[in-house]
Amino acid sequence: MSDPGARTLRLLSLLQARRYWSGADLAGRLGVSVRTLRRDVDRLRELGYPVSASRGVDGGYALAPGAALPPLVLDDDEAVALALGLQAAAGSAVAGMAETSVRALAKVVQVMPARLRRRVEALRSATVSGWGPAPAVAAVDPAVLTTVALACRDAERTAFGYTPPGRERTERTVDPHRLVSLGRRWYLVGWDLDRGDWRVFRLDRLDAPRGTGAVFAPRRFPAEDAAAYVRERVGGAWGRLVVEAEVAAPAKRVRDRIGPWATVTDDGAGCRVQIEADDLDWAAAALGLTGAPFTVRSPPELKDHLRDLAARYAAAGAP
């Protein structure tokens, strides 16, 4: 890559994609000599990007948290708004949105100075969402989510406290493999060193995650798809309901009313709605809030539930 400007952007992207690069690997990815790589790193530093370097045979480079937000990317207010938006999107029921948001959030947090992280946390704790999770679904601390996401990305052995239902808290040490979002819950799949086996951990039951500094070699995962593996392991404990309905209203209006907890597809005169819910009450409430006629396609038990609700409402409205 001969263009210095394009090469600098490529270098920045590589440094954000992995916690640590050896000099030889990084130079090979860019197709330049180690000497040219050093000049490119110096160029990034001049622009304000905090790149740390280690010397010796195993020397290399890493993008470190900075004393100031890197220039030419985001100003302070934009960075705070982006982090808050990604945290909200991490709870989305839109297919693929949650995992993508967490990966992006991990990149932002990695280079965000402490003063901005404090602003994000203060705003998050002071903000109440009208479309937050149902009370039965425990919220996950965004700091826990991003810490575990970075550990999965960097293949870093991680320790944390874990409290299963009805049991005491224990300390666990895990080689994290993947974060999985199912419904409105997050799960960590990893190799539990204490049990010597693969385990699934619910993130809302996990606390104080911290890296040990040890990098592990990937193990062969016993399934092709991490989400399918988690779904099979948690079984009935997940309790997911997939609701499908047709709503006689424009897709945009339905999205605006239901919020991020549904997948809405335009269907000409109306739209198709798919909701992953924890109970029938939530799905019924979401469809009712569209303010438009709708037809339930599945599951059949939702139709019975709606009839019961209609009878209760009719009785409540009787003279």
The string of pLDDT tens digits covering residues 195-234 is: 899 999 998 899 999 999 899 988 899 988 888 888 788 7
Contact between 84 and 120 (Cβ < 8 Å) = yes
Question: Do the domain assignments include residue 98?
Answer: yes
In which order are the strands placed within the sheet that holds 185-192?
A: 197-202, 185-192, 170-182, 156-162, 206-215
The reply to whether 148 and 90 lie within a common domain is: no
Listed as own residue / partner, the contacts of 256-259 with beta carbons closer than 8 Å and 24 or more positions apart are: 257/289, 257/290, 257/291, 258/286, 258/289, 258/290, 259/131
Contact between 306 and 313 (Cβ < 8 Å) = no
Question: Do the domain assignments include residue 139?
Answer: yes
The reply to whether 309 and 262 lie within a common domain is: yes
| Residue 173 exposed, middle or buried by CB count within 10 Å (0-12, 13-18, 19+) | middle
Question: How many other C-beta atoms lie within 10 A of the C-beta of residue 40?
Answer: 22
CATH number at residue 247: 3.30.70
The reply to whether 191 and 269 lie within a common domain is: no
Contact between 148 and 179 (Cβ < 8 Å) = yes
pTM, rounded to two decimals: 0.52
Q: Is the pLDDT of residue 128 over 70?
A: no
User: What is the rounded average pLDDT for all residues in the chain?
Assistant: 80
* Mean pLDDT to the nearest integer, 134-138: 43
* Mean pLDDT to the nearest integer, 259-280: 81
The count of structural domains within the chain is: 4
The pLDDT tens digits for 156-199 are 999 999 998 788 999 999 999 988 877 667 889 999 998 899 99
The reply to whether 193 and 252 lie within a common domain is: no
Question: Do the domain assignments include residue 147?
Answer: yes
Using only C-alpha atoms, what is the Rg of the chain?
A: 24
The reply to whether 142 and 82 lie within a common domain is: no
Q: What is the pLDDT of residue 160?
A: 96
CATH number at residue 50: 1.10.10.10
Question: Do the domain assignments include residue 308?
Answer: yes
Helix axes 23-30, 4-17, angle to 10 degrees: 130
Q: Is the pLDDT of residue 297 over 50?
A: yes
**What pairs with residue 268 in β-bridges?**
none
Position 260 confidence tier, pLDDT thresholds 50, 70, 90: low
Question: How many other C-beta atoms lie within 10 A of the C-beta of residue 43?
Answer: 16
* Mean pLDDT to the nearest integer, 235-264: 79
Contact between 211 and 156 (Cβ < 8 Å) = yes
Q: What is the pLDDT of residue 3?
A: 75
As given in the structure block, the two tokens for residue 20 are: 């640590």
Q: What is the pLDDT of residue 93?
A: 44
In which order are the strands placed within the sheet that holds 60-63?
A: 21-22, 60-63, 51-54
Q: Is the pLDDT of residue 135 over 70?
A: no
Largest CA distance in the chain: 86
Contact between 162 and 170 (Cβ < 8 Å) = yes
Q: How far apart are CA 285 and CA 94, in angstroms?
A: 18
Q: What is the pLDDT of residue 68?
A: 56
Q: How far apart are CA 297 and CA 67, in angstroms?
A: 54
Contact between 200 and 158 (Cβ < 8 Å) = no
Burial 235-244 (b: 16+ CB within 10 A, else e): eeebeebebb
The reply to whether 133 and 209 lie within a common domain is: yes
Question: Do the domain assignments include residue 118?
Answer: no
The reply to whether 131 and 93 lie within a common domain is: no
Question: Do the domain assignments include residue 234?
Answer: no
**What pairs with residue 294 in β-bridges?**
247
The reply to whether 167 and 217 lie within a common domain is: yes
The reply to whether 170 and 246 lie within a common domain is: no
Position 129 confidence tier, pLDDT thresholds 50, 70, 90: very low
Choose among 256, 264, 239: nearest CA to 291. Answer: 256
Q: Is the pLDDT of residue 256 over 70?
A: yes
What is the DSSP secondary structure assignment for residue 236, as one 8-state letter?
G
Give the residue from 200, 225, 250 where a domain finishes.
Answer: 225
Residue 142: what residue type?
P
The reply to whether 155 and 134 lie within a common domain is: yes
Question: Do the domain assignments include residue 17?
Answer: yes
The reply to whether 279 and 304 lie within a common domain is: yes
Question: How many other C-beta atoms lie within 10 A of the C-beta of residue 33?
Answer: 10
What is the domain extent for residue 23?
A: 4-63
Question: Do the domain assignments include residue 103?
Answer: yes
The reply to whether 13 and 52 lie within a common domain is: yes
| Residue 35 exposed, middle or buried by CB count within 10 Å (0-12, 13-18, 19+) | exposed
What is the DSSP secondary structure assignment for residue 190, as one 8-state letter?
E
